[in-house]
């Protein structure tokens, strides 16, 4: 039981009660507490908790009466019915898990430190292996409506923009699609669907400590409170708290000697939905359009000795990016000239640990296997994890057995993806002139002699389907 739910002495003068409009007069339903505008902030949290509990009751009543949903007690359709699950972190991994679990009947609460789900991040490529999860959750069309389908990936030489190799992605449509998505749009779609499925999203809640036990997990909050939850999913991202509660202090991640700038640039007219990779000496730049194809997403990676922190929120001066890529040709100078705001991210190699769960605490996404961006799979892996975890929990009554099955299903695949991303960077960054030209020639020849062969090397990645029998 959350202690703040049990708190009796709420100054109720700040609370108004109202029945949901759609249900008034139909039958007796719980009243939903509303917060008055003049309520103090700390109190709002308590009212939100009460409100969440009342909303859950209403939802249960509605779904119990809705013949399309089937009877609420149908454990086959909702194997996690009544199971309370707390998720730490409302990123792509946490929200996907929340939705997948709520659809199976779990009572899910997501705790997120941010006050609002803002436009954080930039573009991400969502490949078919993760699109299948989104389709299975009913979000395939919504993502298709807000994110262009990638037509191809073209590797180019940095100076004049000469094409080195071309991967046609047309065949990806039948596998589920390869989409170029704004992270904020994906987060918004997931959050909306999760809330519609009954997930309680509690924003502005910072967890300050996590302690895993066999019977439950204790969470301490930055405001001094604490709670014990029967099952917690740590989806708190890279360098999150949950990981150290499982395996102690993680080994210090190694700085790769590379940094990535990320920026969004408005375009005057829509462009073709192609991923372009401009390969330079010790650096490369990836660009692709987002949304209505009038916003270009840029990721510019440079090898350098000085360290930069890891995370979405570190701003940099756009002139530093322009200076670093000053000798790039093709479309790059024009795009860089229009960059107004840029974030800088230090790229680190993290070990994927052997242990993903302890007692009733389990990890997913960047919390357990942060990866370099050179295979565009961090968010995709998090979505795969979320689906598999929900399936494993649904297929087994025993939670420890379910968490063991989840780790067994995911560990080798995630390690393979992280290793493949680690080994990809050097290929884009060749410096020695002879070696560089020979490698580019080999890529060009390979492309013309066996078109499609380069993409087939990634069948293990893109054709993997966790939505079929992953438990």
Q: Is 240 in the site for ligand FAD (CB under 6 A)?
A: yes
Q: Is 114 in the site for ligand FAD (CB under 6 A)?
A: yes
Q: What is the contact mask toward ligand FAD in residues 432 to 471, using x (rule: CB under 6 A)?
A: ----------------------------------------
Kindly indicate which of the ranges 3-11, 36-44, 378-386, 406-414 contains the residues binding ligand FAD, using the contact rule CB under 6 A.
378-386
Q: Is 148 in the site for ligand FAD (CB under 6 A)?
A: no
Burial readout 359-382 (b: 16 or more C-beta within 10 A, e: otherwise): bbbbbbbbbbbbbbbbbbbbbbbb
Kindly indicate which of the ranges 5-13, 98-106, 109-117, 327-335 contains the residues binding ligand FAD, using the contact rule CB under 6 A.
109-117
Element (H, E) at 211: strand 207-212
Three-state DSSP at 33 gives strand
Using the Cα atoms of residue 470, residue 239, residue 360 and residue 358 in order, give the sign of their dihedral. positive
Output 46 or 112, the one with its CB closest to ligand FAD: 112
Of 408, 379, 384, give the one whose Cα is nearest residue 396: 408
DSSP E strand stretches across 307-409: 315-316, 342-349, 357-358, 361-363
CA 356 from centroid of its chain's CA atoms: 18
Residue 392 CB, nearest distance to ligand FAD (Å)? 18
What are residue 298's DSSP bridge partners? Answer: 263, 287
Output 105 or 373, the one with its CB closest to ligand FAD: 373
Residue 81 CB, nearest distance to ligand FAD (Å)? 26
What is the DSSP pairing of strand 179-182 with strand 107-112? unpaired
Q: Is 289 in the site for ligand FAD (CB under 6 A)?
A: no
Of 226, 200, 210, give the one whose Cα is nearest residue 49: 200
Output 15 or 344, the one with its CB closest to ligand FAD: 344
Site residues for ligand FAD, window 57-96 (CB under 6 A)?
A: 88-94
Angle at the Cα of 145 from the Cα atoms of 141 and 151, rounded to 5 degrees = 100
Residue 67 CB, nearest distance to ligand FAD (Å)? 36
- Which value, to the nearest 10 degrees, does the dihedral of the CA atoms of residues 301, 307, 309, 314 take? -60
Output 10 or 461, the one with its CB closest to ligand FAD: 461
Q: Would you please indicate which residues are annotated as catalytic (active-site) residues?
A: 288
Q: Which one of 378, 394, 425, 440 is in contact with ligand FAD (CB under 6 A)?
A: 378
Residue 141's alpha-carbon distances to 166, 174, 336, in angstroms, are 28, 14, 33
Q: Which one of 48, 87, 373, 462 is in contact with ligand FAD (CB under 6 A)?
A: 373
Q: Is 345 in the site for ligand FAD (CB under 6 A)?
A: yes
Site residues for ligand FAD, window 255-274 (CB under 6 A)?
A: 260, 262
By the criterion CB under 6 A, which residues form the site for ligand FAD? 88-94, 111-114, 124-125, 206-207, 235-237, 240-241, 260, 262, 299, 345, 365-367, 373, 376-380, 382
């Amino acid at each position: 039981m959350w202690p703040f739910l049990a708190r009796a002495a709420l100054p109720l003068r700040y609370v108004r009660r109202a029945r949901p409009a759609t249900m008034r007069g139909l039958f007796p339903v719980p009243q939903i507490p509303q917060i008055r505008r003049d309520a103090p902030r700390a109190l709002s949290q308590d009212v939100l908790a009460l409100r969440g509990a009342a909303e859950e009751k209403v939802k249960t009543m509605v779904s119990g009466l809705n013949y399309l949903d089937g009877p609420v007690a149908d454990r086959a359709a909702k194997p996690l019915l009544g199971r309370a699950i707390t998720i730490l972190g409302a990123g792509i991994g946490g929200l996907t898990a929340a939705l997948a679990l709520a659809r199976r009947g779990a009572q899910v609460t997501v705790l997120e430190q941010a006050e609002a789900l803002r436009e954080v991040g930039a573009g991400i490529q969502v490949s078919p292996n993760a699109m299948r999860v989104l389709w299975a959750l009913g979000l395939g069309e919504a993502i298709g409506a807000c994110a262009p389908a990638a037509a191809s990936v073209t590797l180019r030489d940095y100076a004049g923009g000469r094409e080195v190799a071309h991967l046609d992605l047309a065949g990806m449509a039948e596998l589920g699609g390869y989409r170029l998505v704004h992270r904020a749009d994906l987060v918004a779609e997931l959050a909306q669907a999760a809330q519609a499925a009954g997930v309680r999203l509690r924003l502005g809640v910072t967890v300050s400590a996590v302690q895993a036990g066999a019977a439950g997990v204790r969470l301490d909050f930055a405001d001094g409170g604490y709670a014990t939850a029967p099952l917690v999913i740590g989806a708190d991202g890279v360098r999150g708290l949950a990981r150290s509660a499982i395996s102690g202090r993680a080994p210090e991640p190694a700085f790769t000697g590379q940094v990535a700038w990320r920026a969004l640039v408005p375009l005057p007219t829509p462009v073709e939905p192609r991923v372009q990779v401009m390969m330079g000496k010790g650096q490369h730049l990836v660009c692709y359009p987002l949304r209505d194809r009038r916003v270009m997403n840029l990721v510019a990676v440079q090898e350098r000795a000085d360290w930069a922190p890891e995370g979405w929120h570190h701003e940099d001066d756009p002139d530093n990016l322009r200076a670093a890529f000053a000798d790039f040709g093709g479309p790059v100078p024009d795009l860089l000239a229009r960059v107004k705001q840029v974030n800088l991210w230090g790229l680190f190699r993290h070990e994927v640990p052997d242990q993903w769960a302890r007692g009733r605490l389990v990890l997913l996404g960047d919390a357990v296997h942060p990866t370099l961006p050179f295979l565009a799979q961090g968010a995709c892996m998090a979505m795969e994890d979320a689906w598999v975890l929900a399936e494993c929990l649904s297929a087994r009554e025993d939670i420890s057995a379910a968490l063991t099955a989840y780790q067994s299903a995911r560990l080798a695949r995630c390690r393979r993806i992280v290793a493949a991303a680690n080994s990809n960077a050097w290929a884009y960054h060749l410096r020695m002139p002879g070696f560089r030209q020979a490698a580019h020639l080999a890529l060009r020849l390979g492309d013309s002699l066996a078109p499609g062969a380069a993409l087939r090397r990634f069948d293990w990645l893109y054709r993997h389907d966790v939505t079929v029998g992953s438990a």
